[in-house]
Each structure stands twice: as C-alpha cells, then as structure tokens.
DNA sequence: TTTAGCACTCGGCCTATCTGAGTGCTAAAG
DNA sequence: CTTTAGCACTCAGATAGGCCGAGTGCTAAA
C-alpha cells in the first residue's frame, strides 16, 4: 500500500527531526517546522496511521513518535535526499586522502581513523584479498659481510623488505648464488605451494645454506600471509559516547566491547557491491548490533584486492551525511590505489 | 616524622583494600582482613592520625577512609611489595613480544595494544629520536622499464622501500647513474642538510633527471622525518569504562577526549630514566590527569632512539601489578630492539 | 595505651507526589 | 469524507521527604 504524499512528508519530518534531536517527535513540532497547513490533530491522525503501518513507534503512550527500523528503511530508500558535500568538505577529504606511502595495513588503519573523524561515528576498515598473491621477484642487497637486505616484490606490486643479520659471514658471490636460487625456485608460488618446494630444496642443500634459504623464504611467506589475510581495524570507538543513546553506560558497554574485541568483521556484508550499503538495526546479523546501524562502502585495492570501510552508529544515524562522506572517501581510496601502487609521495602529518 | 610500624601496616591495608574494592575502607574491615590484634577503635584512632598527616582522607563524615595522593605516594615508595609475575604471565608476555617484523611505528602501536591488554588500563606508546638520522645507502632495483624500487638503509639500520612509477621509461645504465649520484651526494646527510644539497644539484641537472632525483630524495626525506618524529599511539581507551570511577560518563568523557585527541605526549616525563616511573594524580602536569595516575617505562630502540610506554588509570590503580608487567614488557622491548634490527622473523597472529 | 559503648552524621535508596508534553477520541465544522 | 478544536487521560522524569545503616569521634573504664 502506497503512502500519500502527506504521509511521506510527515514520515520524513519525523525521521529528520529525530535524527537531529534524539527526542521523540510530537505532532505539534511537525506542524511548526514543516510548512504544513494542517492542524496538529490531523498530523496526529496521520502519525497513528503510520504507526499501524509499522513505520513509526511510540516509546510510551504520552510521548512523541520515533521511526521504527522499517521507517528508517523507507526513509533511506525513498525519502532521503542525497547530501551534497560542500567544497570545503571535499577539499578536506581530498587533503586527508594524501596518505603517506606506507604498508597497506597502515593505510587502511588510517583510512578508518579519517572516516571516523569525518563522520563522528566509530569506523572500521578492512582489506580482503580474494586472489592468491605470489612473489614476483627477490632482491638481496649486501650491507656488511654479516648482514643483507631482502626485498620482495609481489605480483600485485607490493614491496616489502627486511634486514637480515647472520651469525657468520657471507660474500658477494654467495649472495648472488642465493639470489639466483630464490628467483628460480620460489617465484610465482602461492603460500601453500612454497612449503613443499622448501622441503624439496632442503633435501639436497647443505645445512648452513638451507638455514639461509629458509630464513628468506619464511619472510616471503610472512609477506604473502599478510597480504592475503583480512586485517581488521577500528577507530574512534569512543565517539559513540558523544551520542545521547549511549550516555548510559549499560547501553554503550556491550557495543563497545563488541567493537573492540570480537570484531573480526564477520558481521559485515561482503564487499561485492559497488554502491554504499546501509544496514539498519535489526537487519544486522550480530545480536550486539541489533539497535545499531552500519553504513559500508567498498573500494578497490589494485587489481586483486578489495577493501571495505564503514561506520557504526545508533539507528538514529545521519544517513544522508554519512553516506555522502563515506562514498566520496571510498571513491578517493579507489582512485588512490587505482594507480596499482601505494599512494604518492606526499606529506601530511595526520595522527588521529 | 616517621610512621610507626602499625601505622604503616594500616596505611598499606587501606591502600590495598581500596585498590581492590574501590570503596572507602572502614576500621572494621581492617581489623578483620589484617591479622591485627587490636580493636576497631584503635584502628580508628590510628586512621585519624594518618588523616591529620595527610595520608588518608574521608569522602564524607560517615564513610571509611581512602588514600590521599600523598598516601599513594608513600605506599608506592615504601610500602609496596614488588609484584612477582607468574610463569604463565611471563610466557604470555614473551609470546606477545614476538611481534611481526614491521615498520617501527606499527611495532610501537602494537606494543601499546599489548600493554593495554596485560594491564587492563589504557596504554600509550611513543618513540623519540634524540640523535639525527641519516641515510646510509640507496639501492635502486629495476622492475620494468617504467618502474623501479627504491630501498634506503639508514645509519640506524632501518630499511624502507617504495615502488616508483614513471611517466616515461628508463634503462638500466640510467638507473645505475642515478644510483651512483644518490650514493655519492645524498648519503650521510641529516634532514636539514639534504634540502640545500638538492638545490645545488637542481642548478646543474637536466629537468627530467632532476625530477627523478627529487622523487627519490623526497622519499628519503620522508623516511628520515618519520624516524625522527615522535609518533604517539594510544590503545584500549575504552578500558577506562570498566573501572567504577568512570561509570559516570561525566567523569570519563573529559579524560577520554583528552587521551584520544590532545594526546601528543606532552604530559609525559622525559624518558631519561631507566626505571619505571609512577606519577600519581595531582603530580601530573596536565589538568585532565589530575585525578589519574600514569605509570611509564622506557626502552631502547637501537642505538639512537628511545621509546616510552605506559598506562593511564585512576589513582586507585594496582601499582604493583601494573609496574611489574610494564617493566617486564619494556625490558623485553629493549632486548628485542637491542639486536640493532627490527624484531626476528616470527609469526604471531595478534590483532588488537 | 587500648577498648567497649554510644550518640551522631550523612550519602544512598526507596517512595510519594507533581508536572507537563503529548496522545486518542469525540463532536462539530468545512 | 476530511479537518479541526477541545478535553480527558497517560506516563516518564523531576523533586522532595524519610528511612537505613555503615562508619565515625568521643568518652570513660580497663
């Protein structure tokens, strides 16, 4: 059954008013704020109708109405006007996007922090590798006779390095030999394929040489593991406390615990979609999030990885505002990673 | 004026009881829990004496006593018994110390998280460079004709890398040339010394070549900057909420804001000392910390850097417990970094 | 110097009361 | 059929009063 235009207008007024004030909305304020030429009694009748439709609810008999989850859903789907970012806002976000060149994990962590800053809600961020990563190339650089640097380059153009100290010494030719061995034997292998290869090499290599090889290879495996694993970050959890629904610690505590401990991202929708997704209250899978809303956006990291970034807040969340910022930011991240490389050389001292 | 042994015993009982229960301690419970062969009236007299000495105070007339900051101070200095860690605890900490090889900044961040976990209080961690860092060596590794990897090694044996994409192409000899130039001109210079050198080179280099040079050099500068800057991390701020003194958000909010926003570590003691330092309530410089205690330990990072790690909590903090864990952990970090290199190749999936 | 006893204090808790915002309903008006 | 004015009703939250008991300080005796 379709709502009348007036009902839509009232529903929208209730939602937006409630989002702003966190107080149940009465019929009177609606007649005042909206330019409706009807009396409060009429609005009351309409609100009663909206309530029987399950779009509004009353905390108690003598209070105003608040939107039900279905009410929010309808609002989000049909009534919400896309929020336009101000120039100032977009430049601020663009500025924040000039992340320092860093390990992927840290970029993602920082992205979470930034989103939390811009939205005033707790944020989470993660990256998921869906394809297998392999090492494309090894490089060994001599430092002293007892130390060298390993540099590995993956097929997704991530670079990692490590300084290796040796108990004994090594000379340049030996290092070259090792280098060649690595680049012929351990290249283009996935994590699982490396182990048997290492076993095979072990069988016909001298003890000392093998120790060296396994040292470097296990570093490579560590890198592969890092890039394939889902790493999950949260930021700004304490921002929850600024919202009136969490003024009482009894409400806030379980959610905070959930976010800071259990959060492995299992409750999140898979990042298959391009658009920003809004999950309202009980639509969440996790029980702890049943009266919490989640807004998520996804972005591309190079060719074979994908990231998710989102915020968590009360169902009374400013969906329009959050969605706009989050989408814009996610797009920015895609662009950033789109170059196939980590972000450009840029300076920006942004810490928390 | 020196306290009598009995007074010391009572003071200690009050402190430890209050640390455990967070409730003002009455004379009766002391006679019961301590094996003192005196009546509660005697204890009351002694407590009154301790109060006039400024070591105890009364929240209101009809309540028990709680320790004053001076009381805590005396307890910490003279009465507190060093807490011994259980085998289980030490192995757990040792396990946690097997941090993955990572950028310095992340190791420090993680260290903070771990300490917060072990102490149940919010933790902070930072590193300060006190000597100037310089680049010891550049290495350029060709990837494709339009991309190469820069690897820089600092005099403190930190290694950093970056993949550079070019708009145009480059061949091996050109790269060699660039490599030689870098290693002759931009090596062993501090951050400030690099800029004029770059200017000098700019004056007699072709435009395109200069672009390339400045790309690599600015990356090097970024690395130096990172290593010299104080980077500050906090973790586990929400753990505050688990302590009864912060059940009321009015108390918790300002402190949380302080810790999560302003915290640049300015309120921290300089890490000159070896031992663990305890700052009690009003001894803190920052107003926001006036009824909060801070315990800090410091550790060495290689030869020319130093880190601080510590926890923040109510003055009713379990000093013995916290100090033991923090000191042990800081020692572990020193050992870890003592090798002059980032931590060993080890796997441990510890997130949060 | 210690102890038993006693009057006293005062924060926390529980209950009673009041207030007002907002409702639903009804009957009259458009 | 829709809208409106009016009115009785409901109920959360704030305010005030009263009780309870833990813990104290003081005094007088051991």
CATH number, residue A311: 3.30.450.40
- Kindly determine whether the C-beta of residue A37 is less than 7 Å away from any atom of nucleic acid strand D: yes
Q: Which nucleotide is nearest to B40 (CA to C1')?
A: C3
Q: Are strands B231-235 and B277-279 parallel, antiparallel or unpaired?
A: unpaired
Q: How far lies B218's CA from each of A349, B174, B213, B223, in Å?
A: 15, 19, 8, 9
Number of domains present in the structure of chain A: 3
Residue A182 and residue A246 in one domain: no
pLDDT at A68 over 50: yes
How far apart, in whole angstroms, are the C-alpha atoms of residue B144 and residue B239?
Answer: 49
Q: Which two tokens stand for residue A126?
A: 């993660």
Q: Is A4 helix (H, G, I), strand (E, B) or coil?
A: coil
If asked whether residues A245 and A312 sit together in one domain, one would say yes
Structure tokens at B199: 């200017």
Residue B345 reports pLDDT greater than 50? no
Q: Between the CA of A62 and the C1' of D9, what is the distance in angstroms?
A: 9
B265 pLDDT exceeds 80? no
In this complex, the answer to whether residue A52 has its CB under 7 A from any atom of chain D, a nucleic strand, is no
CA distance A191 to chain B (A): 14
Residue B352 resides in a domain = no
Identify whether A259 is part of a domain: yes
Candidates A165, A225, A256; nearest CB to B241: A256
Task: Give CA torsion, residues B48, B51, B55, B59, to 10 deg.
Answer: 110
Pick from A12-16, A142-146, A338-342, B86-90: least confident: A338-342
Mean pLDDT (whole number) for A213-224? 89
CATH code at A146?
3.30.390.60
SS3 of B210, please? Answer: helix
Distance CA A125, CA A307 (A): 7
In angstroms, what CA-CA distances link A57 with A10, A63, A73, A184, A232? Answer: 14, 10, 14, 68, 36
Higher pLDDT, A42 or B107: A42
Which of A29-33, A261-265, A340-344, B226-230 shows the lowest per-residue confidence on average (mean pLDDT)?
A340-344
Q: Residue B346: inside a domain, yes or no?
A: no
Secondary element (H or E) of residue B143: strand B135-144
Asked if the model's pLDDT at residue B306 lies above 90, the reply is no
**Closest to A55 measured CA to CA, from A81, A78, A21, A32:** A78
Please give the mean pLDDT across all residues of chain A.
Answer: 86
Give per-residue pLDDT as tens, B141-175: 998 888 899 999 988 778 888 888 888 888 899 99
To test the contact with chain B by mutation, choose from A165, A229, A261, A352 the residue with the greatest count of B C-beta atoms within 10 A, namely A352
Using the CB atom, is residue A263 less than 7 Å from strand C? Answer: no
pLDDT of residue A286: 87
A301: helix, strand or coil: strand
Task: Give me the percent of chain B exceeding a pLDDT of 90.
Answer: 54
Contacts of B349 in chain A (CB under 8 A): 229
- CA dist A155 → A78, A127, B10, B201, B242 (Å): 44, 17, 68, 35, 46
Strand ordering across the sheet containing B292-301: B231-235, B123-129, B305-314, B292-301, B277-279
Q: Which one of A179, A183, A213, A241 would you mutate to disrupt binding with B, by most B Cβ within 10 Å of its Cβ?
A: A241
Instruction: From chain B, pick out residues whose CB is under 8 angstroms from the CB of A236.
Output: 260
Spatial separation of the C-alpha atoms in residues B333 and B321, rounded to whole Å: 19
Largest CA distance in chain A: 92
Worst-scoring range by mean pLDDT, A17-21, A116-120, A257-261?
A257-261
- Between chains, do B162 and A159 touch, taking CB under 8 Å as contact? yes
Q: What CATH number is attached to the domain comprising A49? A: 1.10.10.10
First to last CA, chain B: 48
For chain B, the average pLDDT equals 86
Instruction: State whether B239 and B280 are in the same domain.
Output: yes
Specify whether A191 is located in the same domain as A272: no
Residue A135 contacts strand C, CB under 7 A = no
Domain holding B255, by residue range, is 87-131+230-338
Distance A62 CA to C19 C1' (A): 13
- Residues B29, B47 share a domain: yes
Q: What mean pLDDT do residues B2-22 have? A: 94
Other beta carbons within 10 angstroms of residue B238's beta carbon come to 23
Contacts A106 to B, Cβ<8 Å? 103, 105-106
Same structural domain, A28 and A100:
no
pLDDT band at B339 (very low <50, low <70, confident <90, very high): low
Report residue B36 as tokens.
């003192």
Question: Which of these ranges, A178-182, B147-151, B245-249, has the smallest mean pLDDT?
Answer: B245-249
Does residue A171 share a domain with residue A102?
A: no
The answer on pLDDT for A343 being more than 70 is no
Is B109 within a domain? yes
Q: Of the candidates A228, A245, A273, which is a domain's last residue?
A: A228
Q: Which residues does chain A have within 8 Å of residue B340's beta carbon, measured at their own beta carbons?
A: 165
Among A85-94, A165-174, B269-278, the range scoring the smallest mean pLDDT is B269-278
CB proximity B58–strand D (7 Å threshold): yes
């Amino acid at each position: 059954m379709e709502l009348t235009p007036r009902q839509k207008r009232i529903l929208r007024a209730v939602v937006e008013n409630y989002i702003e004030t966190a107080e149940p909305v009465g019929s009177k304020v609606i007649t005042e704020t909206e330019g409706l030429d009807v009396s409060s009694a009429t609005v009351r009748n309409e609100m009663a109708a909206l309530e029987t439709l399950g779009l509004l609810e009353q905390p108690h008999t003598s209070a105003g109405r608040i939107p039900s989850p279905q009410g929010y859903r309808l609002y989000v789907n049909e009534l919400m006007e896309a929020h336009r970012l101000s120039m100032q806002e977009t430049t601020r976000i663009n500025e924040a996007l000039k992340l320092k060149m860093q390990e992927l994990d840290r970029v993602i962590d920082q992205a979470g922090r930034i989103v939390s800053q811009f939205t005033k809600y707790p944020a989470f961020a993660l990256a998921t590798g869906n394809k297998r990563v392999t090492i494309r190339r090894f490089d060994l650089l001599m430092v002293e006779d007892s130390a060298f640097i390993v540099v590995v380059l993956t097929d997704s153009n991530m670079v990692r390095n490590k300084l290796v100290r040796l108990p004994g010494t090594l000379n340049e030719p030996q290092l070259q030999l090792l280098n060649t061995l690595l680049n012929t034997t351990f290249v283009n292998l996935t994590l699982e394929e490396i182990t048997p290869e290492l076993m095979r090499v072990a069988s016909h290599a001298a003890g000392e040489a093998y120790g060296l090889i396994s040292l470097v290879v296990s570093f490579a495996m560590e890198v592969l593991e890092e890039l394939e694993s889902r790493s999950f970050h949260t930021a700004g959890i304490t921002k929850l406390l600024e919202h009136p629904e969490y003024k009482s610690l009894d409400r806030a505590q379980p959610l905070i615990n959930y976010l800071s401990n259990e959060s492995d991202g299992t409750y999140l929708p898979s990042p298959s979609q391009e658009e920003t997704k809004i999950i309202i209250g009980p639509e969440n899978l996790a029980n702890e999030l049943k009266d919490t809303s989640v807004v998520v956006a996804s972005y591309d990291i190079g060719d074979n990885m994908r990231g998710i970034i989102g915020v968590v807040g009360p169902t009374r969340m400013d969906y329009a505002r959050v969605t706009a910022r989050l989408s814009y930011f996610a797009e920015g991240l895609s662009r950033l990673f789109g170059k196939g490389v980590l972000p450009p050389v840029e300076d920006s001292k942004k810490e928390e």
